[in-house]
Amino acid sequence: MSPVKLLVYLLIVALTLFYAYPLVVIILEGFDTDISPIFAPGIRLIGGVPYYSGGITPSLIYYIDMFTVQGFQKLIINSLVIGLGSTLIAVFAGVFSAYGITFYSGRSGRLYDFIMLVMRSVPPFLLIIPLLWTLSSWGFWDTHAGMVFAYLTLNSPIAYLVVRSLMNEMPRDLVEAALTMGCGAWKAIYRVVLPLLMPGIMVAIVFMLVLTWNEFLLASLLTGPVSKTVSVGVWTGVGEQIGTFRTVEFEAQAAAGTVALIPVTAIILLLRRRLVKLFVLSTS
């Protein structure tokens, strides 16, 4: 083996450790009742404080606790309801507005594109105060409907931009032919546009589901006991909320994190290289 080849393999091993090791730790910690490290029992530092640890003691306690006492399944349902709700409404609105802009508007369509592009770069923090204020004054704080609305502000620009670029790539002639042959606008969408764009739209829906499933900032402030989502549950694990910060049990976080990770990993592995296109599409 040439030295260059050896170096390549060594680097790949190092990168494998870098990418995989934190995940392995998180998965193992969820099954381990001991505080921290896996290697070498003994005294070590946790957050700068010396601690005694006895290595690994396998146990399912955190998973049992999570699905019985903590009711993590409720958070999963919440996340799915909120994610699907906001994603589907956003895509629905996106299809219609993109259709209108693509086939009926002239230069004014560029303005709408630009507004949506601006909205894509809105920092979520800008939305916090208006959303907190509006949702709580209308009694929608910590409700599924309120969260669907909140995520609509994040999802609808992405949905619009993705669908719009799909429509730009689509042969216009088909739609124009359908319209000339007496197809109404609604029928043209239903019979021509949707079947053509369906694969792309499905991918976009899945992508936005992942984004909402993983979103933390808005969910942590806009949800309470009723509509708490998975990513909030991953952080809070078990423990008391004391002001901004709280006590935390790391193993509970690890277990919840592992559960939250499974469906998203499956989706990411299905999307594979399409991810690049999705990220780019939603900015172009």
In the region spanning residues 75 to 134, those forming contacts with other proteins, defined by CB under 8 A, are 89-90, 92-97, 99-101, 103-104, 112, 115-116, 118-119, 121-131, 133-134
Give the footprint of other proteins on residues 1-60 (CB under 8 A): 5, 8, 11-12, 15-16, 18-23, 25-26, 29, 35-40, 42, 44-48
The minimum distance between CB 267 and other proteins, in angstroms, equals 7
Q: Give yes or no for residue 275 binding other proteins (CB under 8 A).
A: yes
The minimum distance between CB 75 and other proteins, in angstroms, equals 13
Q: How far apart are the first and last CA of the chain?
A: 45
The minimum distance between CB 125 and other proteins, in angstroms, equals 5
Instruction: For 43, list phi and psi in degrees, rounded to 5.
Output: -95, 135
Q: What SS3 class is residue 246? A: strand
Question: Which of 8, 25, 13 is closest to 255 using CA atoms?
Answer: 25
The minimum distance between CB 66 and other proteins, in angstroms, equals 15
As a whole number of angstroms, the distance between CA 117 and CA 22 comes to 35
Residues 130, 246, 216, 233: is their CA dihedral positive or negative?
A: negative
Q: Which is nearer to other proteins, 121 or 171 (CB)?
A: 121
Give the footprint of other proteins on residues 212-251 (CB under 8 A): 213-217, 221, 231, 234-235, 243-245, 248, 250
**For 63-221, where are the E strands, in sequence order?**
none
As a whole number of angstroms, the distance between CA 121 and CA 284 comes to 12
Give the footprint of other proteins on residues 178-217 (CB under 8 A): 179, 184-186, 210, 213-217
Question: Which of 158, 176, 32 is closest to 99 using CA atoms?
Answer: 176
